[in-house]
Amino acid sequence: MRDPPGTAKQCLSVQISARRDVAAGIFQLETIWPGPAPRAGQFFLIKPRRSACFLGRPISVAEYDPAENRLRFLIAKRGRGTGELAALRPGDEAELTGPLGNRWEDMVPERPRAAGERAALVGGGVGIAPLLALGAELAPGSYDFYGGFKAAPFGLEGLECQDLVTASEEGLGGNQGRISDFFNPAPYRAVYACGPLPLLKAVAAACENSRTPCFISLERPMACGVGACLGCAVATRRGNRRCCIDGPLFPAHEVLFHG
Ligand SMILES: Cc1cc2nc3c(=O)[nH]c(=O)nc-3n(C[C@H](O)[C@H](O)[C@H](O)COP(=O)(O)OP(=O)(O)OC[C@H]3O[C@@H](n4cnc5c(N)ncnc54)[C@H](O)[C@@H]3O)c2cc1C
Ligand code: FES
């Protein structure tokens, strides 16, 4: 019997075991996480042990290897919190709280899977992170991966997808343009997406037109991360939901993108 999403979590001090720059302003952090095993779609609140920030920043699980408890994150440096994370080096200590939020496996399409039908994973920029973790949970070859980037593609090594489609707005790898322009949801059993809001809106609209079930991972600024402060509201057809505990994954048709 599984714990309901978000209930099995811990706040632990861990040591950074590896750090790697993967593109301008984008880096990976790795650690050994001895707490409850995360599932794809979930996230951690993270900050360095010595930090000027009161709150950890929400970061998705990009990879978790249960054999070694190895946990990997893919992070874009944006402001103070992620700037502090970018300065971490192997051996430094960080505080992690998690795993938090719901899991991709909780997002189940209503119709049964037809033989050979695949899923599509559509990510933009560091939004690929929770989809990398999802890919690792799916059977090899049972999904296609679409990655959209401003400049050169990054972070796609090791995917066991059938087709890999990339797009770069600056024409630095794969198709030139936005990944949503190279994506047709019609052949897919389900679509899972994460990335900037314009990408999510375009993917959700295309899925609605083709009646393809679509599930998205949303970002909201977060404080408590456990449903207590109501600071991460997402407007949905069922009223306001908390991104940290009711999400971050939502069926796209429930989300009021303009609400
Ligand atoms: C569930 C979840 C999973 C996430 N996973 C990842 C991930 O895997 N990798 C990654 O790089 N980032 C991820 N993010 C976004 C990351 O949390 C923010 O970039 C980070 O909190 C910014 O903090 P900061 O102190 O560096 O920047 P700040 O100084 O707080 O802000 C810098 C800029 O980022 C914006 N911002 C602040 N918080 C958020 C937020 N939560 N979401 C979006 N924009 C924000 C601000 O409005 C501002 O424009 C995730 C967010 C959520 C909610
Ligand atoms: S961050 Fe506090 S309720 Fe979501």
Q: Tell me: the pLDDT tens digits for 82-97?
A: 999 999 999 999 999 9
Q: Clarify whether residues 79 and 48 are in a common domain.
A: yes
C-beta 234 within 6 A of ligand 2: no
Q: So what's the pLDDT on residue 196? A: 97
Spatial CA neighbour of 249 closest among 219, 213, 229, 221: 219
Specify the range with the lowest mean pLDDT, choosing from 108-112, 125-129, 150-154, 202-206.
108-112
Specify the range with the lowest mean pLDDT, choosing from 1-10, 106-115, 193-202.
1-10
Over residues 52-66, the pLDDT tens digits come to 988 999 999 999 999
Per-residue confidence band for 7, with pLDDT thresholds at 50, 70 and 90: low
Select from 21, 64, 82 the residue to mutate for testing ligand 1; criterion: most ligand atoms less than 8 Å from CB: 82
Q: Clarify whether residues 90 and 36 are in a common domain.
A: yes
Q: Clarify whether residues 122 and 204 are in a common domain.
A: yes
Contacts of 91 (CB under 8 A, 6+ apart): 15, 16
Check pLDDT > 60 for residue 124.
yes
The reported pTM is: 0.95
Q: Clarify whether residues 126 and 160 are in a common domain.
A: yes
Q: Name the domain count of the chain.
A: 2
**Which ligand has its closest atom nearest to the C-alpha of 245?**
2
C-beta 188 within 6 A of ligand 1: no
Task: For residue 231, tell me if it sits in a domain.
Answer: no
Last residue of a domain, one of 36, 67, 100: 100
DSSP string for 132-200: HHHHHHSPTTSEEEEEEESSS--S-TT---S-EEEEETTSSSSEES-GGGG---TT-SEEEEES-HHHH
Q: So what's the pLDDT on residue 6? A: 47
Q: For residue 65, what are the β-bridge partners?
A: 70
Q: Clarify whether residues 96 and 121 are in a common domain.
A: no
Task: For residue 226, tell me if it sits in a domain.
Answer: no
Task: For residue 236, tell me if it sits in a domain.
Answer: no
Q: So what's the pLDDT on residue 2? A: 47
Q: What is the CA radius of gyration of the chain?
A: 17
Domain range for 49: 10-100
Q: Clarify whether residues 183 and 126 are in a common domain.
A: yes
Asked if residues 248 and 218 have their Cβ atoms less than 8 Å apart, the reply is yes
**Ramachandran quadrant class, 191 (left: phi over 0; alpha: psi -120 to 50; beta: rest):** beta
C-beta 149 within 6 A of ligand 1: no
Query: Three-class SS of residue 33?
Result: coil
What CATH number does the domain containing 82 carry? 2.40.30.10
Q: How many residues does the chain have?
A: 259
**Which ligand has its closest atom nearest to the C-alpha of 82?**
1
Select from 60, 75, 78 the residue to mutate for testing ligand 1; criterion: most ligand atoms less than 8 Å from CB: 78
Q: Clarify whether residues 122 and 181 are in a common domain.
A: yes
Q: Clarify whether residues 140 and 71 are in a common domain.
A: no
Spatial CA neighbour of 83 closest among 48, 32, 122, 111: 48
Last residue of a domain, one of 100, 126, 155: 100
Check pLDDT > 80 for residue 114.
no
Spatial CA neighbour of 144 closest among 174, 166, 120, 113: 120
Task: For residue 243, tell me if it sits in a domain.
Answer: no
Distance CA 3, CA 188 (A): 30
Q: Clarify whether residues 125 and 212 are in a common domain.
A: yes
Which amino acid residue places its CA nearest to atom 7 of ligand 1? Answer: 59
Q: What is the mean pLDDT of residues 214-235?
A: 95
What CATH number does the domain containing 167 carry? 3.40.50.80
